[in-house]
Amino acid sequence: MDRRTVEKKVSKRLARLHLKWPAQPNSIVLSLNRRSQNGFEPHLCKHLVDCFSNRRIPYLWKEHEFQLGELNKVFASQWISDDSVVMGTKCNKLIVLHVSSGRMKHIPMINGSVPYQRRHQEDEGSGIHAISINPGGSFLATGAENPNSLAVYTMPDFEPVCVGQGCHSDWIFDIKWLDDEFLVTGSRDGTIALWSIADALNCTEENGASGSSLKTIKPRCKCHSRSAEGHLHEDDHLMQKVRALEFNNSRKELASVVVSSGCVTFWDVRQFREVSCRKLHYNRESVCMAFSDSYSLYAVGSQNHVTLIDTRKGRTVAAFPTGESCSGVRSLKFQGDILSAGTGKGAIKFIDIRQSKYLVRGDKPNLSIQVGKGWLSRDFIYHSYFTDAIYHNAIYTHCYDDSGMRLFAAGGPLPSGLTGNYSGLFH
């Protein structure tokens, strides 16, 4: 097959990927470099390979399940190295898991000066719902011993830096870094707060859990989320919670999901003010969110659907039913052209963004990975209310490693009264 025929075929493929055939090189060095790549630019070859591998790898994965003992429900996770994942649990434990050996290391929780006073019966074991690492990889932010407070550690040694307190009156549900200095927290009390790690350099000191001095910071500002009609949520404490956050750096835009309003609220982070609100058609139990910078798309998971919102058009562009009734989408993650969704019934499903459909397996409507059994406590609550029912492990969190070749998934039983855990590596 001659070069012209190859270029014609590749050009058609690139057109489907919204790319153009690279211009002819204007130097001998570039020409030789292209020839060594069989006529392709190196970065273009990598892009084509990534597009292909992202679609094929989920078909090849095999599960390796980890034993976490009696930890209760993993709510958050992040890769911190090729061999390590940091996890946050409902029982308020921060743990580093070494995936090659299964060995776990417990990280001491940061305890500030503000005591935690439970407001609701379910506050027992409210847990760590968010883990976020800044772009430079130097700091990790998560919940403190008091789940209403913010804790910041240095990376990779997990030395305590500061505790952010005196802001939220209820649990912190999500955390997002805007850059290496500023970060945002969203809380169950319906507020969003802006913090600066630089404030830890000039602040008061409190005694931490280990007796060492610990710096305390206050938020730069705090705002209440509003409904789609523009009203503050001040009536029902449990219904106004800010459940998820995502940051669009190119537009300097923060998006938040508020459970009571069933909408996505957009904020200008430069002025830290709300600029618009988009009502979701499928909005029941909207508890998770993801953002793709490549496609300028927000993905929101609800009880039965995954909804895609195009930031450039400012509207919903697609909605994908999960095929599972009432269990809900519990976690979302973009990996190139693929959006993965972890469900409340222990399944991970994959949506091809370019083709706007689920990846399929044979004659089945979609490719679905079902996770292992994990561990479940057969305690008094289980024997009193759940003995005759079968409950899968909800996938509360999942994350890809830097190569995109491995996927870590974790969670636990969906009913709040059940105690248990699951974690596994797909590779």
pLDDT band at 324; cut points 50, 70, 90: confident
- Does the pLDDT at position 207 exceed 70? no
Domain ranges of the chain: 3-40, 108-279
DSSP-based three-state secondary structure for 202: coil
Query: Dihedral of CA 180/175/252/248: which sign?
Result: positive
Strands ordered across the beta sheet of 182-187: 172-177, 182-187, 191-196, 221-224
Question: Per residue in 365-380, pLDDT tens?
Answer: 778 999 999 999 999 9
* pLDDT recorded at residue 288: 96
* pLDDT recorded at residue 120: 54
Using only C-alpha atoms, the chain has a radius of gyration, in whole angstroms, of 23
* pLDDT recorded at residue 262: 82
- Averaged over 193-217, what is the pLDDT? 73
- Does the pLDDT at position 419 exceed 90? yes
- Does the pLDDT at position 79 exceed 90? yes
- Does the pLDDT at position 291 exceed 90? yes
Strands 407-413 and 393-400: antiparallel
- Averaged over 86-94, what is the pLDDT? 98
* pLDDT recorded at residue 362: 73
Query: Could you write out the DSSP letters of every residue in 96-128?
Result: EEETTT--EEEEPPP--SS-----SGGGTT---
Our CA dihedral for 151, 179, 353, 225, rounded to 10 degrees, sits at: 60
Of 172, 109, 26, 61, give the one whose Cα is nearest residue 409: 61
Give the residue with greater pLDDT, 140 vs 206: 140
**In contact, 367 and 360? CB cutoff 8 Å:** yes
- Does the pLDDT at position 99 exceed 60? yes
Query: Could you write out the DSSP letters of every residue in 336-353?
Result: TTEEEEEETTSEEEEEET
- Averaged over 182-189, what is the pLDDT? 96
* pLDDT recorded at residue 42: 56
Range scoring the smallest mean pLDDT among 109-113, 126-130, 329-333: 109-113
Could you please state the CATH topology (level 3) that the domain comprising 108-279 is classified under. Methylamine Dehydrogenase; Chain H (2.130.10)
Q: pTM of the prediction?
A: 0.85
Give the Cα-Cα-Cα angle 399, 403, 407 (nearest 5 degrees): 30
Question: Per residue in 186-201, pLDDT tens?
Answer: 999 999 999 999 998 7
- Averaged over 347-372, what is the pLDDT? 89
Q: For the chain, what percent of residues have pLDDT higher than 90?
A: 64
Range scoring the smallest mean pLDDT among 75-84, 173-182, 363-372: 363-372
- Does the pLDDT at position 43 exceed 70? no
- Averaged over 378-405, what is the pLDDT? 91
